[in-house]
Structure formats: C-alpha cells, structure tokens
Amino acid sequence: MAKSQLTPSQKMTYLGALFNTPERVVSLPPEKILVLIQKVKRAMGSRSMSATDCLSLIGSLASCIPMIKWARWHLREFQLGFLAQWEKKHLKQRIVITSSMKSSLWWWTRPSNLLVPRPLGPVTWTVLASDASQIGWGAHIQDKLVQGKWPFNAEGVISNILVLRAAWMALRHLAPLLKDKPVLLQMDNRAAVAYVQNQGGTHSRSLFSEVTPIISWAENNLGDLRASYIPGPENHLADHLSRSFCSNNEWSLHQRAFNGICQQWGTPQIVLFASPLNAKTPIFLEDTLSDFSRYGRPDTTLDIPVGVCLSPNSINLEISTTPDKGRCFHPGDHSILAKEAVVPTPWSVYRYAVRFLYHAGATCCLRATSLTPIQRS
C-alpha cells in the first residue's frame, strides 16, 4: 500500500516516472532529479570509483531514458570510458574517472536538461530515406530530392560507415525542412539504424565516431530523431539517387501543374523522354545508356528501318517482357503511346519510342499496315 495512490488524480508517479495525463507527457519526478544530480556530482568530484559504483551510476542514468529524450546519448561517453578500463567480473576494481568521462556527466547536472518532458501521444514523423553507394549518396523527403558525390575515394570503406555519412549529408542539406521536427531516418543497413536509434553504441568505435555529429546536431536542431530499417528493394529511389546523378538539364513539371493538366485533358498512360527522377506515370520510357553497367545491355535486337515512322492509325505496339528490376514497364499494358488527335500524322515519335524500348531491354513486336517515309533534310 505504501506505493499505492488511493486518491484519484490526473498526475501520478509510477516506476520512477511522473505521468501528466492532461498534457499527455511523462517526465522525471523532482525528487528523483535532485538525487540524480547529487550522485552525478559525487562522481565528477572523484578521481576513481569502484566498478560497482560505476555500474550503479550507469543504471541510474539509464533509468531516465524513457523520460529524457537525449539521455542515452549523454550516457555513452561515460559508459565507453568505463568499459575501456573494466575487467569484467571484478566488481571491486577501481575505475579512473577521466576528464572526458567527467565532461560527459556535466550535462546531467543541469536541471533544465532533466525537466524537459516527453510526449505520450502519437508522433507525426517526417520520414527521410537515404542510401549510399561507392559513388555518392542520395536521399529524399517525399518529392524533395538531394544527392551528392563523395569527395573521397570510397573504395574499401565499409557500407555501415557510408550509410551513416549519407544520412548525415542528407540531414545537413535538408535542414531547413527539418527544423524542430521529429525525423524518422529510413536506411537499409541494420548496423547504421541501430547506432542512430540507440544514440550510439559500445561495440564499434568507428560507427560511434560517425554517428556523433548526427546525434549532436539532431539534439540542437530536431524535435526528435529515430531510425528504422527499410529493405533495399523498397529504398529504390534513395538508392537510385546515390548511383545516378542528375545533369543540369534534369527538370520536372510541378505536381500541381501536372494534376491540373490531367484534370483538363485526362491522365496519360505513358511518358516519353523521362527518368526515374521526373516520370509522372508508372510507365515511362528512358533514353539513356548510363544504367547498362548496372542492369546489363539487353540481348534483344530490333530490325527497324532507320528512316521511317509508323502511322498511329495502323500500329499495334506490344510489350512482352519481364523488365529488369527498377524499370517501369508492365507486360499487361498494350495501350498506344498517344492519340492521333494529340500527335499529328505522320508521327515520328514511334521511331523514338522503339529506340527507348530497346535501351530499356524490352522485346517489342511491331505490326503496321503502312509505313510513312520521313523526309530527310
């Protein structure tokens, strides 16, 4: 009964946490803050402590993690300093409290850091997906895209580090959109996700060094920072951005303008002269050979006369292929590319469409009853 609260209340302390239901937040109770500050100050004033006392202090700080947003981050340096000296199973061993360990504890002596509550309700996260390759990095927030090339030779650099560096570059470049917002980082590397989600770690010093600027920056600029794993095939846009870089001529019609055109004239079924970055329809034709090293050169050859075009009144274009991963062709779509009312006859766009389909690796079957010669200049 000593720990029970018999009087109904909208505020209650339970398991070392103060729950405020009207405001839907949880925080540290004031009495626990005072005890914690005294314990930290004693450690800062000591030259050494027993392993038992160090573990007790680490446990007290770790108990604040559910109530204090950045508690785990400010615990890491003391934890790493302790583990670097401790010979496990020797609880009476004296641990030297180094200057870096004492500096990390200073944050815990400020009540303003310990009084900030955490919300209990659902959080609306701003999702930032990022990825890295040996060439560069890429990221996006919905339709906001960023990418860049590494200013160093990335060969031999492990993927864990590259993915964390990609996330760091993405956060910096998209900072104006993320200011004071809770951000959810999506990455396809489980180690990188763990080090962001857990605000560091103790198993890899190199990964801890990579995540340090991310968490330090996030504490001062974001409302919160979490990370989640996304399978590689689902992270295709960020992956594409990290490998294929836009030219200065790459552009896209604004989505609202595109929607207005669709309302007026109907939604197109296929887009010509597009790329994965600016295509407005699920099916598009891309005129590029830059991805052959990744997807492989198609085995199909098309015996189409180079000086002719096909009349839209007499053509039947069929796509019968299972495309490479990442290509936007669907075998069941047999619609013509455009209508005669939109594209005048003779329609030489078909000649370009055939060439694009060849570049994409599709197998085409063209049947036409008439061919219209193209007048060469």
pLDDT, tens digit (0-9, with 9 covering 90-100), for 229-245: 999 889 999 999 998 87
pLDDT, tens digit (0-9, with 9 covering 90-100), for 186-227: 999 999 999 999 999 999 999 999 999 999 999 999 999 999
Which sequence spans correspond to the domains of the chain? 11-119, 126-243, 255-373
pLDDT for 260 beyond 80:
yes
Assess whether the region 11-119 and the region 126-243 belong to the same CATH fold: no
> What pLDDT does residue 289 have?
41
- HEC states along the chain? CCCCCCCCCCEEEECCEEEECCCCEEECCHHHHHHHHHHHHHHHCCCEEEHHHHHHHHHHHHCCCCCCCCHHHHHHHHHHHHHHHCCCCCCCCEEECCHHHHHHHHHHHCHHHHCCCEECCCCCCEEEEEEECCCEEEEEECCEEEEEECCCCCCCCCHHHHHHHHHHHHHHHCHHHHCCCEEEEEECCHHHHHHHHCCCCCCCHHHHHHHHHHHHHHHHHCCEEEEEECCHHHHHHHHHHHHCCCCCCCCCCCHHHHHHHHHHHCCCCCECCCCCCCCCCCCECCCCCCCHHHHCCCCCCCCCCCCEEECCCCEEEEECCCCCCCCCCCCCCCCCCCCCCCCCCCCCHHHHHHHHHHHHCCCEEEEECCEEECCCC
pLDDT for 319 beyond 80:
no
pLDDT for 101 beyond 60:
yes
> What pLDDT does residue 271 have?
80
pLDDT for 307 beyond 70:
no
> What pLDDT does residue 285 have?
75
Tell me the CATH number for domain 11-119: 3.30.70
> What pLDDT does residue 254 have?
80
pLDDT, tens digit (0-9, with 9 covering 90-100), for 112-151: 999 888 888 888 999 999 999 999 999 999 888 999 999 9
Segment 264-286 mean pLDDT: 79
pLDDT, tens digit (0-9, with 9 covering 90-100), for 2-61: 667 677 777 778 788 888 888 888 889 999 999 999 999 999 999 999 999 999 999 999
pLDDT for 306 beyond 50:
no
> What pLDDT does residue 373 have?
36
Segment 360-371 mean pLDDT: 36
Q: Tell me the CATH architecture of domain 126-243.
A: 2-Layer Sandwich (3.30)
Residue 247's pLDDT band (cuts 50, 70, 90): low
pLDDT for 155 beyond 80:
yes
pLDDT, tens digit (0-9, with 9 covering 90-100), for 79-95: 999 999 998 878 899 99
> What pLDDT does residue 16 have?
83
